[in-house]
């Protein structure tokens, strides 16, 4: 199955080792320097729910992981670079042994308010796609894995269609979406996921921190009619 078909059917596609070593080294060095210089323990809740290293977001070591890598070619093929925009990135770290034992992952889709993510209640800040660039290896389950519920993007699409526009001001839906898959990754792997694919990060019972950088992607003008894109999940895609 090619990546386009996998993205359509499963809701995500994984690309092995496509991030070049210089880009990964620059990003890791910038993250390590920022952590050693600027980390504030009292902001841990913010780091876990929004981003580590907030001063790095939007800077070249982070943005080059998307703009100067094969990721941009993938996005061009999937959506067209002229048709999309993206955020300043998110430095996502799951510390080693952040949980004493494996725990069932809990799914979500982005854009709904929580106690710590800084979003306003009563609306959905929907997107089009999520890109994850992995800077550390993930070789077993419960190691901070990017975790997905394959095919759940169609379940959420159906939910929004059946629920109607009132869903736009309601809490995040929790339909039955099947069983999760914890992805194994090597350094330099990239995952492209549809926005409406349920996902999460597994707890990290491994001996090393899991470090990734995520980018949120959206079709230009999406905010003018979020409902249309929530209920027509391939609108604007080229695949």
pLDDT in tens, the chain (239 residues): 899 999 999 999 999 999 999 999 999 999 999 999 999 999 999 999 899 999 999 999 999 999 999 999 999 999 999 999 999 999 999 999 999 999 999 999 998 867 666 667 778 999 999 999 999 999 999 999 999 999 999 999 999 999 999 999 999 999 999 999 999 999 999 999 999 999 999 999 999 999 999 999 999 999 999 999 999 999 999 99
Domain residue limits, the chain: 3-231
Q: What is the pLDDT of residue 118?
A: 66
Q: What is the pLDDT of residue 123?
A: 84
Q: What is the pLDDT of residue 122?
A: 72
- CB 226 within 8 Å of CB 160: no
- CB 87 within 8 Å of CB 137: no
- CB 86 within 8 Å of CB 66: yes
Q: What is the pLDDT of residue 119?
A: 67
- CB 23 within 8 Å of CB 64: yes
CATH domain 3-231 topology: Jelly Rolls (2.60.120)
HSE value, Cβ hemisphere, 13 Å, CA-based, for 200: 14
CA distance 28 to 26: 6
């Amino acid at each position: 199955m090619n990546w386009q078909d996998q993205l359509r059917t499963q809701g995500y596609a994984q690309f092995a080792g496509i991030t070049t070593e210089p880009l990964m080294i620059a990003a890791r060095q910038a993250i390590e320097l920022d952590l050693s210089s600027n980390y504030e323990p009292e902001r841990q809740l913010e780091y876990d729910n929004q981003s580590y290293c907030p001063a790095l977001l939007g800077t070249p070591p982070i943005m080059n992981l998307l703009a100067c890598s094969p990721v941009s070619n993938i996005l061009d093929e999937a959506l067209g670079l002229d048709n999309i925009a993206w955020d300043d990135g998110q430095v996502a770290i799951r510390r080693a042994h952040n949980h004493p034992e494996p725990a069932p992952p809990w799914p979500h889709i982005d854009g709904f308010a929580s106690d710590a993510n800084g979003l306003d209640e009563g609306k959905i800040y929907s997107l089009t796609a999520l890109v994850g660039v992995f800077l550390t290896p993930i070789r077993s389950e419960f190691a901070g894995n990017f975790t997905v519920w394959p095919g759940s993007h169609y379940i959420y699409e159906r939910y929004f269609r059946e629920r109607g526009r009132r869903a736009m001001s309601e809490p995040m839906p929790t339909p039955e979406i099947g069983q999760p898959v914890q992805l194994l990754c090597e350094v330099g792997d990239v995952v492209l996921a549809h926005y409406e694919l349920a996902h999460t990060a597994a707890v990290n019972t491994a001996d090393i921190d899991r470090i990734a950088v995520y980018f949120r992607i959206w079709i230009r003008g999406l905010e003018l009619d979020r409902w249309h894109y929530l209920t027509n999940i391939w609108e604007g895609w080229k695949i």
